[in-house]
Amino acid sequence: MKISANNFEICAFNPSDYISLFQLLDSNKSRLKNFFAGTLSNTKTLLATQSYCKKMVERINQKSYFPFIISDLETKQFIGLVDVKNIDWETSQAEIGYFIDTKFEGKGISTHAVAYVVNQIIKDHNFKKLLCRISNENVGSQYVAIKNGFKLEETRKNDYKTSNGNLVNLDYYTRYF
């Protein structure tokens, strides 16, 4: 499954692309450190990233995680990630997470990528509820969620501990199908 539009491509993650994943995460680690701390702690080196990708494959095979990569069509470089995680098959719900390289922010790429992933996973897995947990200070991510039909359901105070130890509020955006 792959889609190309507006100079970018979205496709399911291939573990052989661990070098490109490492480069994407490494070049964005300062802005991702607070909300992708687990991913960054497992991808500090190229070898660690390769090992992490093997674990990703296990999760994909167990149907507990579905990562999608956003690539620049011209350079073929990874520029973002959309992932489906915290899947609960009994209640047919999952969480969507996403980020885009700083050089590609504000171009609508994340909005289109999230739309593609949402449509694909609804078609393939018939989820009834999708959730985005977003820092209430991350206006860009809130905009992506809203443009994709997610509605603010609640704000949870002190709901997430960042990598620097701060407790932050998270907005819970949901979409029902």
- The rounded distance, in Å, linking the Cα atoms of 132 and 8 is 23
pLDDT value of position 27: 95
- Domain limits of the chain? 2-176
pLDDT value of position 120: 94
Residue count (the chain): 177
CATH of domain 2-176: 3.40.630.30
pLDDT value of position 4: 65
pTM: 0.93
Measure Cα distances from 160 to 76, 112, 121 in Å: 34, 27, 26
pLDDT value of position 92: 98
Handedness of CA 170, 44, 111, 109 (dihedral sign): positive
- Select from 65, 11, 18 the least CA-distant residue to 42: 18
The mean pLDDT values, 10 residues at a time, for the chain of 177 residues are 75 94 96 87 96 96 97 94 97 97 94 96 97 94 98 96 88 98
pLDDT value of position 38: 84
